[in-house]
Structure formats: structure tokens, C-alpha cells
Amino acid sequence: MIILVFAALIFPACKKDSAKNSGDKPIPAVSFGPKVDTSLVTPGSMVETQRLYQFLKKNFGYKTLSSVTLTIGTTTELDYLKTQTGKQPAMAGTDFMDSGRGYNWFNDNWPINEAKAYWDQNGIPTIMWHWRDPSRKTEEFYANATAFDVSKIDDPASDEYKAIISDIDYVSGLLKVLQNEHVPVIWRPLHEGANGSFWWGAKGPGPYRKLFQLMYDRIVNYNGLKNLIWVYTTEPNDADWYPRDQYVDIVGRDMYTSGDHSSQSAEFNRIYALYGGKKMVAYTEAGSIPDPDNLQRDGAAWAWVNIWSGDYVTGTTWNSLDLWKKTLASDYVITLDKMPSLKN
């Protein structure tokens, strides 16, 4: 899903005159960023990936990036926002959900084509993966609809392990196309594992953690990908699920609260503290937009806020058009027209 993030940064020792000298940066109530990891978890990351990470880090606590997830195979959300508000988000998200499944109605390259197209406009591509049953016995990803057993990850001779590796290698090939084009990607796999909804989290924290680590090793060390920023999507009380710091660049949180345009600052503060301030924190899936005024007032420094696709963007139940206009026009929200080129 796609997120719009709004953050204000306040250093306790700041005075009004020093804030005035900092240009458009607000006076924050909490200092975010000094402890955030200075480098990516992937050794030798592509230079454009490093630039993107440093751009996110520079703005963490001062600005939030707007983001939306695209309906599969379309640019509906981008087109709607451009027509209705004159603006487009800084980030656009696609999904490998239907890639590699042999569907004759789907172009497997759609996610990477859209990622490249947005990068060419100075936008930031983000890709997730609703990973359908690797065994191909079903086309499902929800745990209650497939019997795929992720715990077999402990047995490299098992059919499940081999299917997992095959799918990871296929996706690696798609991501490598982007690497060859010098396109960095905010990569968010295996989302919401600890809530048990998906097969990758159905067998508890041990297999989930091993799967995340195996994916990292296969993509980075075996397939040689250097263009990814790795995002882990946290859930409450999921300390045992966390893949560990060396596999995670940014921590995300997914929350759907219809008509609630609060900053969700309590959740931001909890997550930021939980990871010791070492990881930037993003609102990786949202239904309702946090009002920029609330984000600024509360110092909820979400690195970005991503609003999910479809009616979450184009309907009026979750977000009014007036709020979209306010959010995308806000000085605290980075939109596509405010994005610098990170290519050079």
C-alpha cells in the first residue's frame, strides 16, 4: 500500500532564531535521526541506492514523503491524483503478486516497468510481494487458503525449500533488470509476518525469520543485487520475528483506521524506541491519510506514508478529495514535483 509521511523534528536545545536559520525545517519536539544507521545493510550498494537512502535519512524528522500503491497493471491512482489535485506522490508502489505465475492476462514485467518509469520522473519506486503459494498447488497467499509449509525451510532437500528458492531467483531476475538500469528500489517483502495472515508467517517466528534471512542471502549474496533498500514490516509484540539489524534498513508499519486522520504518533514513538533509533520508521500501508497538521503537531516523523490502492485513493470513504489536496500541497509533504534527481 502507499504511504504519505509527515514529520516534524524538534531538538530540545533549539531556539527560535536557530530554527529560522534552518529554512523551512520546523522546530521539533523530539530529535530523530542522529542514531539512524549511516549505511545500508547490503555491502557495496549501488550508488543510486546510497543516494536514495541518504535522501530519506536527510529528510527523516523534517519532511514526509507521499506515496501510493498502484492497482495491479494500472496507473489509476497516479492519474486520479494528477487530475484532481495537480500533484503526484513522491513514491509509487507496485507488487510482484502476479509475476511469474504464467497468467496470460498479465505482463510479468509490469512492476519493474512502472518502477523504471517513475524513477525516470525523479520518483521513488517501492515494490512489495504478495507471494502466491510457491508450490503452485493454489494461487493463494493467505494462510487459511494454502497449506504451503514454510517450516520446511529447514530442509534444503524438501520440495518446499526448492520452490522457495525458485521463486526468489525469478524475482531476483526482475530486480536485476532494474539494477542494470541503475534504478534503486525500496523493497518490502514478507510483510505483516507476525500477524499470521500469510503463509510466510503461519508457522511462527523461527521459520519466518529464516525465510527473511534466506531471501536476503539469496538475493544479495547469490544473485548479486545491490539496488535494494530492505524494509521489515513490524507488528505489535513481534520481537522474536525481527530478522535482525543486519538484514533490515527501514522498519515499516501497516495500519488501517477508517476516517482516522490522526498522526498515529504513539505507534511511531513505540517503534522508533523499540529499534533504538537506529532504523527509520515508515507508515508502509495506510487506509486514511494522517492530516499533515497532526503529523507536525505531534512530531510523528514517519519517513513516508503510503496509501493503499483503489478506493483508498479514488474513493471518499477513507479520504476526502479536500484532504488529498491539503496533504499534497503541504510544505511538510514531499511530492513528485519537489523531488530532486537522485541519478547524479
Per-domain residue ranges of the chain: 16-338
The whole-angstrom separation of Cα 206 and Cα 342 is 38
* Cβ contact 295:332 at 8 Å: yes
CA 77 to chain centre: 17
Q: How many residues does the chain have?
A: 344
What pLDDT sits at residue 159? 98
| pLDDT digits (tens), the chain, 344 positions | 434 443 333 333 333 333 333 334 444 445 688 899 999 999 999 999 999 999 999 999 999 999 999 999 999 999 999 999 999 999 999 999 999 999 999 999 999 999 999 999 999 999 999 999 999 999 999 999 999 999 999 999 999 999 999 999 999 999 999 999 999 999 999 999 999 999 999 999 999 999 999 999 999 999 999 999 999 999 999 999 999 999 999 999 999 999 999 999 999 999 999 999 999 999 999 999 999 999 999 999 999 999 999 999 999 999 999 999 999 999 999 999 999 999 98
List 95's β-bridge partners, or say none: 128
Question: Cβ atoms within 10 A of the Cβ of 219, count?
Answer: 23
Show the DSSP H helices in the chain as ranges: 16-21, 47-59, 76-85, 110-120, 159-180, 205-216, 265-274, 292-298, 311-314, 321-329
Comparing CA positions, the residue from 121, 31, 29, 114 lying closest to residue 335 is: 121
Q: What is the pLDDT of residue 30?
A: 55
CB 64 within 8 A of CB 305: yes
Determine the Cα–Cα distance for residues 33 and 254; give it in Å rounded to an integer.
21
Rounded to the nearest 10 degrees, the angle between the axes of helix 76-85 and helix 321-329 is: 80
Return the DSSP state at 241.
Answer: G
Closest CA to 72 of 94, 44, 105, 57: 94
Phi, psi of 331 (to 5 degrees): -65, -20
Residue 63, strand partner residues: 60
Angle subtended by helix axes 205-216 and 159-180, to nearest 10: 40
**What are the catalytic residues?**
192, 285
List residues bridging with 142 in a β-sheet.
Answer: 198
Cα dihedral 309, 310, 316, 322, rounded to 10, equals 50
Q: Which residue has the cell 525545517?
A: 25
- In three-state form (DSSP H/G/I as H, E/B as E, the rest C), the secondary structure along 106-142 is CCCCHHHHHHHHHHHCCCEEEEECCCCCCCCCCCCCE
Domain spanning 16-338, CATH architecture: Alpha-Beta Barrel (3.20)
CA distance 284 to 300: 14
